[in-house]
Amino acid sequence: MDSEPGSRPNTTEPRRQQGYWSDGLGHAALRSAQVLLVLLLIAVAVFALRQVTLVVIPVLLALILAAAIAPFVNWLRRKGWPGALATGTSFLLLLVVFGGLVTGIVFAVRSEWRTLVDQAVAGFDELYALIQSGPLAIDSAVIEDTRDAVLDFATSSTVGNGALAGLSAAGSFATGFVLMAVVLFFFLKDGDKIWTFILRWFSAESRQKADLSGARTLEVLGNYVRGTAIVAAVDAVCIGAALFFLGVPLALPLAVIVFVGAFIPLVGATAAGVLAALIALVANGPFVALIVIIVIIAVNQLEGNFLQPVVMGKTLSIHALVILLALTAGTILAGIIGAILSVPIAAVGWAVIKVWIGEDTGDPAEVPEAAATREDELQQGTEP
């Protein structure tokens, strides 16, 4: 029935039909619910992964090492080496280098760890005494609490040094190392087949982006590991040589700590430098400690302004604040291993996001043979 002339239109029925979720507040509520659901899924995923860190961490390490050595494997294959021989040689070489490096770090630092801690504490106390005698008013309680907290953290590994705790830690390390070695071998041997199998889960429209995301992941991880290793080696050699020629004790373990600290951007090299300066302050006095600080600053400037841009390029094209937040989250979730892995994971995440939002469309001519091979395998239904 038509409405009478001059009567007001009835807007209640259309509004009722549209529902209460069609206005601005309704859209905001729906979006909030979606965000909360995504955050809930992320929290559940993180919680689940934390329960199986003995599996997750070796797999991540294997992926990073495979990405770092993949160019060497491809180079051997281009030189005419059979695929199995190139993979086996690269695998054994990487295991020898990685195992020797870890063993050297452990033995170089472990035998001198107690002395390192004692010297660092003595250096902190001497620095604190100098600050107290200065003109600035310092809250001694806050400084002493910080000192005690750092000391407790540094010596906490000696608290549970019982036979059972040591046996459990050794067993977990051995299990993780064996698992990492096995996964690494299969990544090097069947990486293309495994990735082709994963791509079969994507639709034809999103498969190209997924393939490019995988290529960017390997590129970022490989460049990050190789670049960071070069930068860490240069830092360790330069700072270690300076400590040796200045007569600072414990130069070798301090150089090793500098090498490991370089894998933790922003804070790792700074913490290692502070430790070296404190030990130099105790053993050699304020003048030598000042020279050590100058050397560390010069090396850090060389690293930031020359080495990293040249060696690593745009691998870490993420803001320093994002790196800091990733370091904090990684440290909370998985300790020192989480701090080391968090930055490359964040870099990979940003590279993948750029692919899926269309900012990085890639160059189809970058890997034509690999892309064509994967496409043929996908069409033939090849499984790994």
Q: Are 187 and 63 in contact (CB under 8 A)?
A: yes
Interacting residues of 340 by C-beta distance below 8 A, sequence separation 6+: 263, 264, 330
Interacting residues of 220 by C-beta distance below 8 A, sequence separation 6+: 315, 344, 347, 348, 351
Q: Is residue 322 part of a domain?
A: yes
Other C-beta atoms closer than 10 Å to the C-beta of 210 total: 18
Q: Is residue 11 part of a domain?
A: no
Other C-beta atoms closer than 10 Å to the C-beta of 56 total: 15
Residue 365 is predicted with a pLDDT of: 43
Q: Is residue 92 part of a domain?
A: yes
Structure tokens at 316: 């870490």
Residue 162 is predicted with a pLDDT of: 39
**How many whole angstroms separate alpha carbon 376 and alpha carbon 379?**
5
Structure tokens at 192: 């293309």
The three-class DSSP label of residue 248 is coil
Q: Is residue 360 part of a domain?
A: yes
- Residue 136, domain extent: 53-153+165-380
Structure tokens at 216: 């960017």
Q: Is residue 339 part of a domain?
A: yes
Residue 377 is predicted with a pLDDT of: 54
Q: Is residue 248 part of a domain?
A: yes
Type of residue at 328: T
Residue 328 is predicted with a pLDDT of: 85
The three-class DSSP label of residue 305 is helix
Other C-beta atoms closer than 10 Å to the C-beta of 216 total: 19
Q: Is residue 13 part of a domain?
A: no
Which pTM does this prediction carry? 0.70
Total residues belonging to the chain: 384
Quote the number of domains for the chain: 1
Per-residue pLDDT of the chain (384 residues; tens, 9 = 90+): 455 555 555 555 555 545 666 777 888 888 889 999 999 998 898 888 888 788 888 888 888 888 888 888 888 888 888 878 888 888 888 888 877 777 777 777 766 667 776 777 777 666 666 666 655 555 556 556 665 665 555 555 444 443 344 445 566 777 888 888 888 888 888 888 888 888 888 887 788 888 888 888 888 888 888 888 888 888 888 888 988 898 888 788 888 888 888 888 777 777 888 888 888 877 778 888 889 889 888 888 887 777 777 766 666 667 778 888 888 888 888 777 888 888 888 888 888 888 888 777 765 445 444 554 555 555 555 444
Type of residue at 19: G
Alpha helices in the chain (DSSP H): 12-18, 24-51, 53-78, 83-110, 113-132, 140-155, 163-199, 204-245, 251-261, 268-284, 286-302, 320-356, 368-380
**Chain position carrying tokens 């320093």:** 320
* Burial class for 354, CB neighbours closer than 10 Å (0-12, 13-18, 19+): middle
Q: Is residue 251 part of a domain?
A: yes
